[in-house]
Structure 1
Amino acid sequence: MPLVSIVLATISFNTLAQCDASQEPPSDKPSNFNINEHLSKFSEMGDTIQNMPPIPGFDAGWNKRLAAGVFLSSAFYTDNPYDLKNNPVYNASNPDRFTNWFFGAAAGQLGFSSAEAKTAAAIVQQAQDYTNGQHPDYRDFTRMAEDIVSALWHFDGTEDNFPDSMDIEGGYGYQRDAYENDTPSGKSSGNSCDNDDSNDSADSSSANAGSGSGYGGGWGGGYFVGSAGCYGACGSGAVGSVTITDLPRQETIDE
């Protein structure tokens, strides 16, 4: 009987375990960043893109891939809300690894494969190195072009900085194995790897805002609408976080 109990306990544990160590959020995750709340936005956008009507004369599949790529790039682009390393709401923890981790999770929810997410990040890295005055490849166009071609050839994130590719893979695994298989109540906890994680319960879309200009934007009808041009005193007595505004859905009227 004791042996049977041990076996059953082991089976139960393995059934309930949702994340392995590689899928856990990196330690530089901002305490006020609700993973599942933000990831649900990318999930909604992915569904919206898949339901896009075809554009006459264009391949429907290609159009959807292009829309997903533009959306993902816009969301993480410099001075947009998911530029977490520079966003004044989250940069206290200097979330370098977590930004890559969440990029992988977001890319998966938009329908990209792990290899595609890591390759895209590797290409972006070459462009960043080109404009980084402290990098040996600064303003070396030939080297940037060669590394971009190499990134496309390997198609696995090889040309990205360590451990960026590993973190992207971890985030991708999180959304695939934990988030997608979690219950609605589990998702509402903020972290599907740890449903008791109270650190993820902060409302990161509150009306508070940081200081400066450029962060903001909003969601309307499932769409993220770029930079709003303001993350300064955008709310009464605001300090500490960016406003993500739910914009009214735009209706199309047939005349």
Structure 2
Amino acid sequence: MKNINYIFLFLFLSLLSSKVSATEVCTEAQEPPAGKPTNFDINASLNKFDAAKSAFDGIPNVAYRNMLKASYMAAQFGPGAPYDLKNNPNYMSSEGFGNWFYGAAAQRMGYSASQATRAGSIVQQYQNYRNTGHADVGDLGKMGEGIIDSVNGINLDNPGDKTKILGGYDYSENVYEEDPNSDSNPDSCNPLSSLASTSGYGGGWVGGSSTGFFMSTDTSCILACSSGYATIIDL
């Protein structure tokens, strides 16, 4: 009986030790920020961006490849798209987590950290243009100036957004990439975490994409899709 008690104690301490080491794997910036949906599988989603990058890398024309990659990212993160996590009714994440995951996905797609933050700043100008509560709503001139400044490296994103983007980028590059079990756990910073159930998503949940591309209802289908699925094609 005493031996059995020791066995249970050993197993308990091993589990406790695993939990401690899991939280020590990541820096504060690499950890998913507050507002992460309990039903969102970070690593499974990043794996889909890995598959997308592999598909795009097979396109020999560099300019065309880069255009397709940029359009794909817009189709995934634009308003009403699956990874518009703050507004997606299946997730309703915090804005901070949405920016963090965008940074992680941008890294998997092969963008530099600078490119990821500049793109975030550019998107912010478009959001300001559409936001009825913003001083620059409907001002094409302001949006144009902001986009030019963003392209030139001036960060015009909301305060804190750049930090979150870089934190997600760091997670993707230095935690997810180095995790041999990333295929089997939803969060490499917290590998013992579990997911709540989710109803999932198909294509865009609001009106689809306005980028000139169809979004697939099967996110593993990028350029060559089976019958019955929409493919991502240049219109």
Say whether 1:165 aligns with 2:165.
no
**C-alpha separation between the residues in 1 aligned to 2:162 and 2:105?**
14
Say whether 1:50 aligns with 2:57.
yes
**C-alpha separation between the residues in 2 aligned to 1:86 and 1:95?**
9
Structure number with the bigger relative contact order (C-alpha 8 A, sep ≥ 6) is 2
Counterpart residue type for residue 89 of structure 1 = N
Counterpart residue type for residue 191 of structure 2 = N
**C-alpha separation between the residues in 2 aligned to 1:189 and 1:247?**
30
Asked whether the 8 Å contact 2:26–2:175 carries over to 1, the reply is yes
Asked whether the 8 Å contact 1:80–1:217 carries over to 2, the reply is no
Deviations along 1:134-171, whole A, 9 cap, x unmatched?
1111222222221111111126xx11001111111011
Structure 1 stretches of 4+ moved >6 Å: 245-250
**C-alpha separation between the residues in 2 aligned to 1:32 and 1:246?**
29
Structure 1 partner of 2:190 = 194
Asked whether the 8 Å contact 2:129–2:139 carries over to 1, the reply is yes
Please report the TM-score for the alignment, with normalisation by the length of structure 2: 0.76
Counterpart residue type for residue 48 of structure 2 = K
What does residue range 8-87 of structure 1 map to in structure 2 within 5 Å?
A: 18-52=25-59, 54=60, 60-87=61-88
Structure 1 partner of 2:148 = 149
Pair 1:121–1:224, CA change in 2 (3 A): farther
Query: The residue matched to 1:134 in structure 2 has which SS?
Result: coil
Please report the TM-score for the alignment, with normalisation by the length of structure 1: 0.70
Asked whether the 8 Å contact 2:86–2:95 carries over to 1, the reply is yes
Identity %: 34
**C-alpha separation between the residues in 1 aligned to 2:223 and 2:34?**
28
Is there any run of 5+ residues in structure 2 with no aligned partner, and where?
A: 1-19, 209-214
Pair 1:133–1:70, CA change in 2 (3 A): same
Asked whether the 8 Å contact 2:46–2:104 carries over to 1, the reply is yes
> What is the aligned length?
202
**C-alpha separation between the residues in 2 aligned to 1:176 and 1:203?**
28
**C-alpha separation between the residues in 2 aligned to 1:217 and 1:32?**
21
Structure 1 partner of 2:211 = none
Asked whether the 8 Å contact 2:48–2:219 carries over to 1, the reply is no
Q: Cα offset for 1:208?
A: 8.0
**C-alpha separation between the residues in 2 aligned to 1:17 and 1:247?**
45
Is there any run of 5+ residues in structure 1 with no aligned partner, and where?
A: 1-12, 55-59, 226-244, 251-255
**C-alpha separation between the residues in 2 aligned to 1:224 and 1:102?**
23
Pair 1:208–1:129, CA change in 2 (3 A): closer
Pair 1:203–1:39, CA change in 2 (3 A): farther
**C-alpha separation between the residues in 2 aligned to 1:33 and 1:98?**
11
Asked whether the 8 Å contact 1:114–1:172 carries over to 2, the reply is yes
What does residue range 88-237 of structure 1 map to in structure 2 within 5 Å?
A: 88-91=89-92, 94-154=93-153, 158-183=155-180, 185-198=181-194, 201-202=195-196, 204=198, 206=199, 214=207, 217-219=216-218, 222-223=221-222
Deviations along 1:174-212, whole A, 9 cap, x unmatched?
1000011101x34411001111122xx3465x5689xx8
Asked whether the 8 Å contact 1:221–1:248 carries over to 2, the reply is no
